[in-house]
């Protein structure tokens, strides 16, 4: 097992697109979305344990969910759970973890991964991670994992790469969530892959990238955080740093600007589980293409998701492509593929009296 390999699980999201199943008190990474008996966060750490020492695994989460992480991942020490005082997107999260790891191991290779994705054929995934980590140990590459596309998906970002024969291929361009016509052209060209949002880099490479492309954030961490990590002042230092950091993604802040970005290709089954439509796609379905995990009866309905508690009977008739769900104190009936609507739903509920009990 590679003692220089570290893994950072990003677990700070709120899962708005999965409301009302995902709530502020327990976002989707802390839920058993797939019905496996393991939450998405637990499933994520499980796939890294065969290749990474457990003491080298860190979780970054919002401070309100620190207790949930401890409960679900009891094998981690308190120092391995990095609590963010506020949400500042992925760049600040990655900076915090990278500075923390650099202090322990200057030769570290870090895998940064979301904690709410689905990956099948995990042995193939682990082999890709091993090879990518071997490429990254030179501390001069920023690597992302690219997934061979199977359809012209408009909900994913795309990476175009140079077609050299090496395992790590130089990236040409990033394109975020293209229109369908452009996604079809990407698929036909053969030199575009889906951007998985999983990164592998040497700790020196990512710290150098912060200094080059997000110098203000790097300066804040250098001056206010670096010397206070692993001391009693760490929480105060992080609070001060986060209050000064802008909210920016690692993709926009660094990956789209850097000149040393490479992609390693993977053929394992992957989904970012970013919408109810993606849950429908990977779920087992009945003869009418309905994904049902509830005490339910359906009539003349197809392409639906029906989800609820076993003590409530749900009867569905005459629907096509809907989510019908009973989640505690909220019942929802809506088009499952209109993921753009869920933010609107949440914002409208927030405007109502006593909204906190529903969000």
Domain end (from 250, 271, 292)? 271
What confidence category does residue 151 fall into, taking pLDDT thresholds of 50, 70 and 90? confident
Has residue 320 got a pLDDT over 80?
A: yes
Burial annotation 130-139 (CB, 10 A radius, 16+ → b, else e):
ebbbebbbeb
Residue in this structure with the two tokens 């995902």, named with its chain if needed: 22
Check residue 171 and give its pLDDT: 92
Domain end (from 212, 246, 271)? 271
231 & 280 share domain: no
212 & 142 share domain: yes
User: Is the model more confident about 190 or about 304?
Assistant: 304
Check residue 19 and give its pLDDT: 87
Has residue 91 got a pLDDT over 90?
A: yes
182 & 280 share domain: no
For the entire predicted model, the pTM comes to: 0.91
**Residue 334 lies in domain:** 276-358
DSSP 203: H
For residues 12 and 64, is the Cβ–Cβ distance under 8 A?
no
Torsions phi, psi for 269 (to 5 deg): -70, 130
Pairing, β 5-10 against β 109-114: parallel
Check residue 177 and give its pLDDT: 81
Quote the CA–CA distance of 319 and 301 in Å, as a whole number: 5
146 & 102 share domain: yes
197 & 323 share domain: no
327 & 260 share domain: no
36 & 68 share domain: yes
What's the domain count of the chain? 2
CATH at residue 45: 3.90.550.10
221 & 304 share domain: no
Domain end (from 240, 271, 302)? 271
321 & 238 share domain: no
Has residue 2 got a pLDDT over 90?
A: no
The arithmetic mean of pLDDT across residues 303-322, rounded, is 95
Q: What is the mean pLDDT of the chain?
A: 92
305 & 256 share domain: no
For residues 223 and 211, is the Cβ–Cβ distance under 8 A?
no
> Which stretches does DSSP call E strand in the chain?
5-10, 57-62, 81-84, 109-114, 118-119, 142-147, 158-161, 168-175, 192-202, 261-266, 270-271, 291-293, 295-299, 305-307, 313-317, 322-327, 330-335
The length of the chain, given as a count of residues: 359
Q: Tell me which of 68-82, 129-143, 188-202 is least confident.
A: 188-202
Name beta bridge partners: 142: 201, 261
Check residue 157 and give its pLDDT: 87
What confidence category does residue 81 fall into, taking pLDDT thresholds of 50, 70 and 90? very high
336 & 238 share domain: no
205 & 61 share domain: yes
User: Is the model more confident about 356 or about 126?
Assistant: 126
């Amino acid at each position: 097992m590679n003692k220089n390999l570290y893994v950072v699980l990003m677990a700070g999201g709120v899962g708005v697109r999965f409301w009302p199943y995902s709530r502020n008190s327990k976002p989707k990474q802390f839920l058993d979305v797939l019905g496996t008996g393991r939450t998405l966060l637990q499933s994520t750490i499980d796939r890294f344990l065969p290749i990474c020492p457990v003491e080298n695994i860190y979780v970054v989460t919002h401070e309100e969910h620190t207790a949930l992480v401890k409960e679900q991942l009891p094998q981690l020490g308190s120092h391995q759970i990095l609590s963010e005082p506020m949400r500042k997107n992925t760049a600040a999260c990655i900076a915090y973890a990278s500075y923390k790891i650099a202090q322990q191991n200057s030769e570290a290779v870090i895998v940064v991964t979301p904690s709410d994705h689905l990956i099948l054929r995990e042995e193939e995934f682990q082999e890709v991670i091993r090879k990518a980590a071997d490429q990254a140990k030179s501390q001069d590459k920023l690597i992302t994992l690219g997934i061979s596309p199977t359809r012209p998906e408009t909900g994913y970002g795309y990476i175009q790469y140079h077609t050299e024969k090496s395992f790590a291929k130089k990236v040409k361009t990033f394109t975020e969530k293209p229109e369908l016509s452009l996604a079809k052209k990407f698929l036909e060209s053969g030199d575009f892959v889906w951007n998985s949002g999983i990164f592998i880099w040497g700790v020196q490479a990512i710290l150098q990238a912060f200094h080059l492309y997000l110098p203000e954030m790097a300066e804040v961490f250098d001056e206010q955080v670096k010397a206070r990590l692993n001391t009693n002042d760490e929480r105060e230092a992080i609070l001060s740093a986060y209050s000064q950091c802008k909210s920016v993604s690692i993709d926009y802040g660094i990956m789209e600007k850097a000149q040393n970005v490479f992609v390693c290709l993977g053929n394992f089954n992957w989904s970012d589980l970013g919408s109810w439509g993606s849950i429908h796609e990977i779920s087992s379905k009945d003869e009418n293409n309905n994904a049902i995990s509830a005490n339910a009866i359906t009539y003349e309905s197809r392409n639906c998701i029906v989800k609820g508690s076993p003590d409530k009977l749900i009867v569905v008739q005459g629907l096509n492509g809907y989510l019908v769900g009973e989640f505690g104190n909220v019942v929802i009936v809506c088009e499952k593929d209109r993921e753009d609507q869920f933010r609107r739903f949440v914002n409208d509920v927030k405007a109502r009296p006593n909204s906190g009990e529903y969000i």
